[in-house]
Structure 1
Amino acid sequence: MQDMPFDVVSAVFMMAAVFLSSILRAFTGFGFALAAIPVLALFLPPSTTVAVVASLTLLVSLQTVKEFWDPVEVKRSAGMIGASILGTAAGAVFLGMLSVSLFQLIVGVTVIAASLMLNFAHPKEREVGSGLKALIGFLSGIMNGLLAIPGPPVIIYALSAYATPARSRGFLMIFFLFSAAFALTGFGVQGFIGVTELMYIAAAYPAMYAGNRFGNKWFQTHGSATYRRIANATLLLIGVSAVAKALAG
């Protein structure tokens, strides 16, 4: 891929968007791509946008991994993570066979309905079977391959299967660490990461890390009281965004 020139003005806007989006991710465990990609796409080519977002997610996840890493949770989620790889490959195949707009509409309506139902649900610890976990991971992968939004199935799972905000958030951070690693591998193979992308990543990472620190403190102070409300609102926004994209074309 031929490198695009590095633009300082674009980098400044990107850093502001990354900082705010990183706060959301650090508080909820998800939502960074949802918030950052639409803004970055105004200034950067699509391939650069997705490469930068995936790289920032992976870098901050690796640097702060001690804050959320749980070997027991990783073992419990291994089947889901593995199934998401297969789902991503299947989604890429389906991309040439299905109407993406129709799929976006179905996903968006489903996510909106799930978000509204979760507002009335009482969270409690649930032991989910390995088959259902694999299905959730596979569906997440399909959405990643088709729409580049792997979150909704695992977010719904995290908000319904874990009793505490800390466990929901920790699981989501673990899952999206692996998702970012898988995505970045694919982007590297496709040639999406060049000198320009590395410059944008280097420029944005301090903002990513600062936003992560701020979001962590926000979670520690207000997480117990507001986590589910903010997480559900973010999930609802994902659904609305999917419906809007579908209706737009």
Structure 2
Amino acid sequence: MFDATTLYVILAVAYAAVLRGMAGFGFAIAAVPILSLFIPPLEAVAMAVLLQVVVGLHDLVKLRGAVHRPSLLRLCAGSLIGTPLGIWALSALSPDAARMAIAVLVLTGLAMLLRYKPTAPQPHSGLALLAGVASGAFSGLAAMPGPPAVVYYLGAGTPPAQTRASLLLFFFVASVIAVPGLWLAGAIDGEVLWLTAISVPPMALGTWAGTAAFARLDHAQYRKIAIGVMAISAVLAGWRGLSVYL
């Protein structure tokens, strides 16, 4: 049934998809807070994950030749290790405290990136694996796998097109890993599947528009936009965690 809630959901997805298409990340951090205004937060997370799985299948076919394969494989392997560690740590640390800790870590990492600008690509296999473990831990702690992977690629000086492609496929893998847990938690039901299905076209359209915008960015512009999106994400995550204690 199409109602006001459905319309708001579609608009939120389209907006977040533009960001995803342009930067290669940021969909969940933009979509989930807005979707949570109209549907339960757990359902919002489930929708974001399912949409990234569906659209990620297209990315897997289209972008598989554009990724930095060695780092992507290590990120995925590290995420498999880090996710259960993050879930285990969640038992000792509340989700809101975890969000604040992640916000501090991300802002610290971004401050370092602002001071360090590699003049040539410098991918490092060990750091990629470590970033994957950290991404998995962030995902288990607060459903935020992105920051370590983004910081790794920006710090390595990987070309924007390769960075964007690698991030899109990494988040596809991270979303696939998250689906079973969401299913067992009861977050995926008929309504979520319906909202996900009708949101696929605006998700695809927004991604297309963001991709067109990305094509006009040079390396310096992409880096600034990526750092800006990360900073906003960290602030939102930290505020969400802090608001519980205010």
- TM more than 0.5: yes
CA gap of 1:191–1:43, structure 2 versus 1, over 3 A, is same
- 1:94 matched residue in structure 2: 89
- 2:60 matched residue in structure 1: 65
Residue-pair matches, total: 243
For residues 153-164 of structure 1, the aligned pairs below 5 Å read 153-164=148-159
Aligned mates of 2:112, 2:206 — CA distance in 1: 30
- 1:177 matched residue in structure 2: 172
- Contact 1:27/1:223 (CA < 8 Å) preserved in 2? no
**Between 44-53 and 73-82, the greater mean CA deviation after superposition:** 73-82
- 1:90-114 alpha-carbon deviations (Å, 9 max, x no partner): 2112111124444333321221122
- 1:3 matched residue in structure 2: none
Aligned mates of 1:48, 1:75 — CA distance in 2: 34
> How far 1:21 sits from its partner (Å)?
0.4
**Between 80-89 and 231-240, the greater mean CA deviation after superposition:** 80-89
Aligned mates of 2:105, 2:68 — CA distance in 1: 27
- Contact 2:75/2:133 (CA < 8 Å) preserved in 1? yes
- 1:125 matched residue in structure 2: 121
> How far 1:187 sits from its partner (Å)?
1.5
Aligned mates of 2:71, 2:108 — CA distance in 1: 27
> How far 1:72 sits from its partner (Å)?
6.9
- 1:246 matched residue in structure 2: 241
Whether 1:9 and 2:4 are equivalent positions in the alignment is yes
TM-score w.r.t. structure 2 length? 0.91
CA gap of 1:133–1:73, structure 2 versus 1, over 3 A, is same
- Contact 2:81/2:133 (CA < 8 Å) preserved in 1? yes
- 1:107 matched residue in structure 2: 102
CA gap of 1:71–1:232, structure 2 versus 1, over 3 A, is closer
- 1:192-228 alpha-carbon deviations (Å, 9 max, x no partner): 2222111101111110000011111111123545211
For residues 1-249 of structure 1, the aligned pairs below 5 Å read 8-70=3-65, 73-123=68-118, 124-130=120-126, 132-224=127-219, 226-249=221-244
CA gap of 1:162–1:69, structure 2 versus 1, over 3 A, is farther
> How far 1:240 sits from its partner (Å)?
1.0
> How far 1:41 sits from its partner (Å)?
0.4
Aligned mates of 1:76, 1:104 — CA distance in 2: 26
Give the letter for the 2:9 counterpart: M
> How far 1:116 sits from its partner (Å)?
3.0
CA gap of 1:187–1:111, structure 2 versus 1, over 3 A, is same
- Contact 1:119/1:229 (CA < 8 Å) preserved in 2? no
**Between 7-16 and 184-193, the greater mean CA deviation after superposition:** 184-193
Give the letter for the 2:237 counterpart: A
> How far 1:71 sits from its partner (Å)?
8.1
Give the letter for the 1:36 counterpart: A
Aligned mates of 2:208, 2:14 — CA distance in 1: 10
- What is the root-mean-square deviation of aligned Cα atoms in Å? 2.0
Give the letter for the 1:240 counterpart: V
- 1:128-152 alpha-carbon deviations (Å, 9 max, x no partner): 133x322211111111111111111
**Structure 2, unaligned stretches of length 5 or more?**
none
Q: Which runs of 4+ in 1 moved over 6 A?
A: none
- Contact 1:115/1:233 (CA < 8 Å) preserved in 2? no
TM-score w.r.t. structure 1 length? 0.90
